[in-house]
């Protein structure tokens, strides 16, 4: 308990999140069949599904079971997505192989069955000339309870436990039940610089800057310095990297710390050192053209966000 300035006594928040568990226990005791039905409907709404938009069908197996690959590159967040769009997807023909449909409180799209190109939140592509290269552009926020959905598919879909009876997992959806050790995973994402812990003040840091975290099986030298303790990463990038570490998959996460979280030219260009990595080097063709594409992307976005038009 804590006393406020106005003399009230309020329940102080607990870092360990234990109030949620106590509330859950109370809710569990008071829950009526109608409450249970509402909760199940919400769980069904939060399911993650993998679709093939061209044929309007759902993928029954995980993405990497359907499209085995040796390189899997994931961009999470609008700046990382813009980087891959401008510097990697500008050359070669990329064919869409799947699109993740998901809903949570942070998504702005209501109808996720018919995603338009500008709204497409989580799309998977492979390179037509080399289908072993698969790329994922993820602009939406994948909530904690959906992240494991993103990565794996249940081993036996018929035997779900009560808690996940309707859920196809994000982790499950991409990697499937059999972790593939011969794939190299590269993850790109951004974080706000205030998340970065350092003994100096974060206001004195020169942003944006790049940091890396790699799994034990990743043998190449990273393109930037490693993320020092006590810094940590969470959300979907952490879910993917954890999966890769546990199942001994070679993976690296490139994390750009920036003070501008919306689409920003300087932040996107901060990912450029990653172009010299073994995964991306062979996919980069024309950097000056990429820079032009990036500038156009910025301008389009600025016009759209102008509240006076």
Partner 1 sequence: MFVPCGDSVPDLSGCTLLMPAVSVGNVGQLAIDLIISTLNMCKIGYFYTDCLVPMVGNNPYATAEENSTELSINAEVYASPSKKLVALQLRSIFIKYKSKSFCEKLLSWVKSSNCAKVVVLSSSHSYHRNDLQLRSTPFRYLLTPSMQKSVQNKIQSLNWEEMEKSPCIPEIDDSEFCVCIPGGGITKTLYDEGCSKEIPMVILLKFVSEGDNIPDALGLVEYLNEWLQIIKPCLQCDDPSASALPWKMPSSWRLLFGSGLPPALF
CA 309 to chain centre: 32
Query: Which residue's CB is nearer to partner 1, number 13 or number 288?
Result: 13
Look at residues 256, 181, 170, 174 and name the one whose alpha carbon lies nearest to residue 216.
181
The residue from 73, 99, 213, 224 that contacts partner 1 (CB under 8 A) is 213
Is residue 52 within 8 A of residue 59, CB to CB? The reply is yes
The residue from 48, 241, 274, 294 that contacts partner 1 (CB under 8 A) is 241
Measured between alpha carbons, how far is 62 from 156 in angstroms, rounded to an integer? 13
Query: Which residue's CB is nearer to partner 1, number 11 or number 56?
Result: 11
| Binding of partner 1 by 35 (CB under 8 A) | no
The residue from 53, 109, 177, 247 that contacts partner 1 (CB under 8 A) is 247
| Binding of partner 1 by 196 (CB under 8 A) | yes
Measured between alpha carbons, how far is 289 from 91 in angstroms, rounded to an integer? 10
Query: Which residue's CB is nearer to partner 1, number 109 or number 247?
Result: 247
The residue from 5, 7, 17, 118 that contacts partner 1 (CB under 8 A) is 17
The residue from 238, 261, 275, 284 that contacts partner 1 (CB under 8 A) is 238
Q: How far is the CB of 144 from partner 1 (least distance, A)?
A: 5
The residue from 91, 245, 291, 301 that contacts partner 1 (CB under 8 A) is 245
Is residue 82 within 8 A of residue 268, CB to CB? The reply is yes
Measured between alpha carbons, how far is 233 from 255 in angstroms, rounded to an integer? 9
Is residue 136 within 8 A of residue 73, CB to CB? The reply is yes
The residue from 32, 118, 203, 309 that contacts partner 1 (CB under 8 A) is 203
List of residues 6+ apart from 27 with CB closer than 8 A: 35
Measured between alpha carbons, how far is 100 from 103 in angstroms, rounded to an integer? 10
Measured between alpha carbons, how far is 178 from 64 in angstroms, rounded to an integer? 10
| Binding of partner 1 by 209 (CB under 8 A) | no
The residue from 85, 147, 186, 290 that contacts partner 1 (CB under 8 A) is 147
Only segment of 18-26, 122-130, 270-278, 289-297 that touches partner 1 (CB under 8 A): 18-26
The two structure tokens encoding residue 70: 């040796």
Measured between alpha carbons, how far is 214 from 228 in angstroms, rounded to an integer? 12
The residue from 233, 249, 268, 280 that contacts partner 1 (CB under 8 A) is 233
Q: How many residues bind partner 1 (CB under 8 A)?
A: 51
CB atoms within 10 A of CB 289: 13
Residues near partner 1, by CB under 8 A: 1, 12, 14-18, 20-22, 24, 144-145, 147-148, 161, 163, 169, 171, 196-204, 213-216, 226-236, 238-239, 241-242, 245-247, 253
């Amino acid at each position: 308990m804590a006393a406020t300035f106005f003399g009230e006594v309020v329940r102080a928040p607990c870092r360990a999140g234990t109030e949620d568990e106590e509330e859950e226990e109370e809710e569990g005791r008071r829950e009526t069949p109608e409450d249970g039905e509402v909760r199940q409907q919400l769980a069904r709404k939060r399911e993650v599904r993998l679709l093939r938009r061209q044929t309007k069908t759902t993928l029954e197996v995980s993405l990497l079971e359907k499209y085995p690959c040796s390189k899997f590159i994931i961009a999470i967040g609008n700046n990382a997505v813009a980087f891959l769009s401008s510097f990697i997807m500008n050359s070669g023909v990329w064919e869409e192989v799947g699109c993740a449909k998901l809903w949570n409180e942070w998504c702005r799209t209501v109808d996720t069955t018919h995603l338009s190109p500008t709204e497409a939140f989580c799309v998977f592509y492979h390179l037509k000339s080399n289908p072993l290269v698969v790329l994922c552009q993820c602009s939406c926020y994948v909530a904690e309870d959906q992240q494991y959905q993103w990565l794996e598919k249940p081993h036996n879909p018929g035997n779900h436990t009560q808690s996940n009876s309707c859920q196809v997992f994000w982790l499950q959806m991409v990697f499937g039940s059999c972790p593939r050790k011969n794939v190299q995973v590269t993850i790109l994402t951004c974080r706000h610089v205030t998340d970065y812990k350092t003994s100096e003040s974060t206001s004195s840091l020169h942003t944006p800057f790049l940091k890396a975290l790699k799994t034990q099986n990743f043998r190449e030298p990273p393109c930037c310095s490693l993320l020092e303790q006590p810094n940590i990463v969470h959300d979907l990038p952490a879910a993917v990297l954890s999966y890769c570490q546990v199942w001994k998959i070679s993976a690296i996460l490139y994390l750009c710390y920036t003070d501008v979280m919306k689409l920003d030219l300087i932040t996107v260009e901060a990912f450029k050192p990653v172009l010299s990595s073994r995964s991306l080097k062979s996919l980069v063709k024309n950097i000056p053209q990429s820079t032009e594409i990036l500038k156009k992307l910025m301008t389009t976005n600025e016009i759209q966000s102008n509240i006076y038009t």
